[in-house]
Amino acid sequence: MKKLIIFLTLTGMMGAMPVVSQASPEDDLKAWRSYFKKRFPDVKFDEFSNGLYALPGAEDRRTEWEEIMEFPPYELELEEGKKFWDANKLGTCFKNGGRGIAHKYPYWNGKEVRTIELDINACLKKKGKKPIKDLKKGKMAQVVAYMKSMSRDKRVKVDVSSAGAKAAYEKGKKFYWARRGQLNFSCAHCHVDKAGQFIGGNILSAGLGHGVGFPAYRSKWGGLGTLHRRYGGCNKQVRAKPLKPQSETYRALELYETYMASDLPLTAPSQRF
C-alpha cells in the first residue's frame, strides 16, 4: 500500500511538472567532468586526450605507446594526405587555408551538423572533382588527419549555442546513453560506468576525450581510420548494426562527444592499439 502511495505521489509530481527541465549542455559538461575527475583522481585533465593510455592500469601499454610514438606509423599516410591536400588546393575552401580551425569541428551550419569529412567532399565537388567515396579509411582518413594535424594541440571548442545545434546535441546524447544491439549496451555502459576496466584483454577508454585523437592509426586496422569507422566498429562489438559513416546520427554523436571533450587538446592523428 505504502509503495502504491509513493508511486502515485511520484506520478502525480511528474504530472504536475510536465516540462522535465532538460539539463543544458553546460550542466552536462560539468557533471561529466566531475564524474571523471572523481573516478580518476590521479589523471590530469589534458591527459584524457591520450585515450586509454592516460588511465591507471595501462602503464605497460603507455610505455609501448610512447615508443611507437617516437616514429609514429601514421607519418607516411600523413604525407599522402598532405600531397592530396596540396594537389587539390583544398586550403582555398577553408578559412585561413585550413590551418588552426579543426578544433571547431563539427559545427552547425543552420541546416545540419558539418564535419571535416563533409566539408572536404563539398570542396572537391565545388572544384569539379570527384568526392571521396570511402569515408572510413584511405584517402579521406589521410586528408582529415592532415587537416587536423595543422590544428594539433589546439583546444576543442565546439559551439552548441544555437537551437539546431542543441537539438543535434540532444540527439547525439540520446544515442550515447541508449541501449542497443544484442548485448543491450549503450556507449555509456562501457565508457562511463566501466571506463578503465578490462574487457577481455583490453582496457576500456574513458568517454572523456573520445574523438580528439581521430583519425587514428590503429594497429588492428594497419592504417588510419576515421572516427565514424570506429563508431561502426564499436556498434558491431555490441552486436548492433553499424550506421553509415557521416550519417546524421553519427554526426550528432560526434557533436555530442566532441562537445564533451571541450578544452582538451587535439592529438589527431594518433595511434591506438
Residues that bind other proteins (CB under 8 A): 70-71, 73, 75-76, 79, 222
Instruction: Single out the catalytic residue among 93, 187, 190, 234.
Output: 234
Nearer to other proteins, 145 or 192 (CB): 145
Amino acid at 14: M
Nearer to other proteins, 73 or 97 (CB): 73
Which contiguous run of DSSP H or E holds residue 216?
strand 216-218
Q: How near is the Cβ of 68 to other proteins at its closest, in Å?
A: 9
Nearer to other proteins, 57 or 222 (CB): 222
Q: Cα separations (Å) of 174 from 43, 186, 220?
A: 27, 10, 29
Q: How near is the Cβ of 80 to other proteins at its closest, in Å?
A: 9
C-alpha cell at 164: 539546431
Q: How near is the Cβ of 76 to other proteins at its closest, in Å?
A: 5
Q: How near is the Cβ of 137 to other proteins at its closest, in Å?
A: 15
Burial zone of 81 (CB within 10 Å; 0-12 exposed, 13-18 middle, 19+ buried): buried
Nearer to other proteins, 79 or 159 (CB): 79
Q: How far is CA 237 from the centre of its chain?
A: 17
| 187 is an active site residue | no
Any alpha helices (H) in the chain, and if so which ranges? 2-16, 25-39, 59-68, 75-87, 116-126, 139-149, 163-177, 187-188, 227-237, 248-260
Catalytic residue numbers read 234
